[in-house]
């Protein structure tokens, strides 16, 4: 079985990556292979087409391949909350939570990831067109794959962009190199309150897999929960994974990023989250109807979300 993630050198989908690399899928009886599929809409297309069994990606992005949530379910959360950071070039002198710093600037963001920033800006009273905010793919990111956040940091350093909306690894690299300032960290209270529930890192599978192999879906949920527990007990285990998969600089950063993310490691997918995500999706025009919680989440596995 294959598990697709849209970004690898990152903390965003690390629970799914760690579940493979630390052997928790194997311990649950699943032979799971990690596959990088970038951007996230292509990962969900691979799920729809049967090329992968699971996707560990942004929850709302399932709508790219499964309109109105038909044919897919979220099995569990990898972590709570929208997890991307807005980083602006340090030379601009922008301060934390100064959302207006994006006016007249070029912001790099991946496809489908950029939706979170666009809607956040509107909720904060900024009209991207009126305020001349350009949000576009990061130069050089197509084909970079595993290095999306790191590629964004490099583009920022080279002044190809004025800022980026990307994962915590890219944000950390930019800050440590002195080229970036974190403006928004939605998980930790920045930006409009509703933004927290725009999306989350989730684990998804098709209705087809759930119907034909319910035991495999349940085993995948248990693997994520066991991974959460293992990383909470010893975040330093992230470093051994980083050294196997990441470049040297990022390998030595990952354990600290995971330590910061531990408070959000909860596999639960709440009704309030789904309501907030679906409202976000309707505002964007990628969802039309009022889709009930049970049509989005595989609730039969909810008893497995907590150890």
CATH number of the domain bearing residue 97: 3.40.190.10
Q: What is the pLDDT of residue 149?
A: 84
Q: CA–CA separation, 231 vs 236, rounded Å?
A: 8
Residue finishing a domain among 196, 223, 245: 196
Whether 104 and 179 map to the same domain: the answer is yes
Whether 72 and 141 map to the same domain: the answer is no
What are 46's two structure tokens?
């691979």
Whether 92 and 173 map to the same domain: the answer is yes
What are 88's two structure tokens?
């602006």
Q: Where is 184: in which H helix or E strand?
A: strand 180-185
Whether 260 and 116 map to the same domain: the answer is no
CA 107, chain centre distance (Å): 18
Whether 160 and 148 map to the same domain: the answer is yes
Tens-digit pLDDT profile for residues 146-193: 567 888 999 999 999 999 999 999 999 999 999 999 999 999 999 999
CA distances from 240 to 16, 46, 159, 250, 281 (A): 15, 29, 33, 12, 37
CA distances from 203 to 39, 108, 138, 243 (A): 16, 25, 26, 24
Residue finishing a domain among 196, 222, 241: 196
What's the number of domains the chain is made of? Answer: 2
Contact 248, 7 (CB under 8 A): no
Whether 62 and 211 map to the same domain: the answer is yes
Whether 213 and 275 map to the same domain: the answer is yes
Q: Which residue has tokens 């909350």?
A: 81
Up-side HSE of residue 114: CA atoms within 13 Å toward CB? 17
Contact 52, 32 (CB under 8 A): no
Domain with 59, as residue range(s), is: 2-81+199-304
The structure's pTM equals: 0.96
Whether 214 and 174 map to the same domain: the answer is no
DSSP string, 26-81: HHTT---EEEE-SSHHHHHHHHHTTS-SEEEEEGGGGGGTSGGGTTEEEEEEEESS
Strand 134-136 versus strand 2-5 pairing type:
unpaired
pLDDT per position in the chain (307 positions), as tens?
999 999 999 999 999 999 999 999 999 999 999 999 999 999 999 999 999 999 999 999 999 999 999 999 999 999 999 999 999 999 999 999 999 999 999 999 999 999 999 999 999 999 999 999 999 998 877 654 556 788 899 999 999 999 999 999 999 999 999 999 999 999 999 999 999 999 999 999 999 999 999 999 999 999 999 999 999 999 999 999 999 999 999 999 999 999 999 999 999 999 999 999 999 999 999 999 999 999 999 999 999 999 7
Whether 188 and 205 map to the same domain: the answer is no
Residue finishing a domain among 172, 196, 220: 196
Whether 90 and 228 map to the same domain: the answer is no
Question: Angle 168-176/254-261 helices, nearest 10 degrees?
Answer: 120
Whether 153 and 211 map to the same domain: the answer is no
Q: What is the pLDDT of residue 139?
A: 81
Q: CA–CA separation, 287 vs 272, rounded Å?
A: 17
Q: CA–CA separation, 202 vs 171, rounded Å?
A: 21
Whether 93 and 75 map to the same domain: the answer is no
Q: CA–CA separation, 82 vs 191, rounded Å?
A: 11
């Amino acid at each position: 079985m294959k598990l697709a993630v849209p970004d690898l050198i990152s903390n965003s989908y690390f629970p799914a990556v760690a579940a493979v690399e630390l052997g928790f899928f194997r311990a649950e009886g699943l032979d799971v292979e990690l596959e990088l599929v970038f951007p996230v809409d292509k990962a969900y297309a691979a799920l729809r087409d049967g090329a992968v069994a699971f996707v560990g990606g942004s929850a709302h992005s399932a709508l790219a391949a499964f309109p109105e949530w038909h044919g897919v379910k979220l099995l569990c959360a990898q972590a709570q909350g929208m997890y991307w950071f807005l980083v602006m070039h340090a030379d601009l002198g922008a301060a934390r939570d100064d959302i207006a710093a994006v006016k007249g600037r070029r912001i790099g963001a991946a496809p489908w990831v950029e939706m979170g920033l666009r809607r956040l800006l509107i909720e904060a009273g900024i009209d991207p067109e009126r305020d001349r905010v350009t949000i576009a793919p990061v130069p050089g990111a197509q084909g970079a794959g595993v290095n999306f956040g790191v590629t964004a940091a490099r583009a920022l350093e080279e002044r190809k962009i004025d800022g980026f909306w990307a994962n915590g690894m890219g944000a950390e690299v930019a800050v440590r190199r002195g080229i970036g300032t974190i403006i928004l960290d939605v998980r930790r209270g920045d930006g409009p309150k509703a933004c927290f529930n725009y999306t989350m890192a989730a684990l998804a599978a098709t209705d087809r897999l759930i119907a034909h192999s319910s035991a495999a879906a349940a085993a995948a949920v248990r693997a994520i929960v066991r991974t959460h527990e293992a990383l909470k007990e010893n975040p330093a285990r992230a470093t051994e994974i980083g050294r196997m998969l990441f470049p040297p600089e990022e390998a030595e950063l990952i354990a600290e990023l995971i330590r910061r993310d531990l408070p959000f490691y909860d596999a639960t997918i709440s009704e309030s989250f789904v309501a907030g995500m679906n409202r976000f999706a309707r505002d964007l025009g990628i969802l039309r109807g009022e889709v009930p919680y049970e049509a989005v989440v595989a609730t039969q596995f909810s008893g497995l979300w907590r150890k």
